[in-house]
Amino acid sequence: MNFFKILLMFTLIIGLNACCNSLIHSSNISAQDEKAMLNEIYDSNITPDYVLKIQENKIDVNTIVLKYFKIGESKEEVLSKLTQMKINANKKSDNKIVISGIKGNDPLFCKDHDKTVEVSFEFDRSSKLANIKSRYFRRQ
C-alpha cells in the first residue's frame, strides 16, 4: 500500500509542476517579446509586396494578426492588447484603428531588408472588431 501512496504523490507532484511551468512560460512570452506580432510577420516567409503593388487583405499576414486578435473583441480589448505589445495606434476614428510598424528604418541598409506592416482594425457600431485589413510592403 505504501508503494501506491508514493507513486500517487510522485504523479501529483509531476503534474502540478508541469502545470506551473506552462503558466509561467505563457505569461513570459507576452512580457519578453513586446512586439511579438510584428516580429512574427517580419520573420515569416511572407514576401512583402513592393510599394506600387500593394494588395490589401494579404491573407498570410491576416492569419498571423488573427493569432493575437479575435473578431468580435471590443475596441477596448484591442487597444489594451496593442498597449501591452507597445504598439502605438497611428490613426483613430470611431470605427477604425490603424497601426504600422517599420523594420529597417536606416537609409543605408539594403532596401530588401526594409519591411513595413500596416494593419487596420475596423469596428462595427457596437465597437466590436468586425474586420482586419493588412498591408505588407517594402520600398522600391
Q: What is the pLDDT of residues 63-116, one digit of tens each?
A: 999 999 999 999 999 999 999 998 888 767 778 999 988 887 655 555 556 788
Residue identified by cell 483613430 is 92
Give the chain's domain count: 2
Same domain for 26 and 48, yes or no, is no
Instruction: Decide: 119 and 137 in contact? Cβ < 8 Å.
Output: no
Domain range enclosing 87: 34-138
Same domain for 17 and 84, yes or no, is no
Same domain for 46 and 68, yes or no, is yes
Same domain for 49 and 117, yes or no, is yes
pTM above 0.85, yes or no: no
22: pLDDT strictly greater than 60: no
- 23 burial level (CB within 10 Å; 0-12, 13-18, 19+): exposed
Residue 47, C-beta contacts closer than 8 angstroms, at least 6 positions apart: none
More confident residue, 28 or 81: 81
In order, the DSSP letters of 29-85 are: HHHH-TTHHHHHHHHSSPPPEEGGG--SS-HHHHHHHHHH--TT-BHHHHHHHHHHT
Same domain for 64 and 96, yes or no, is yes
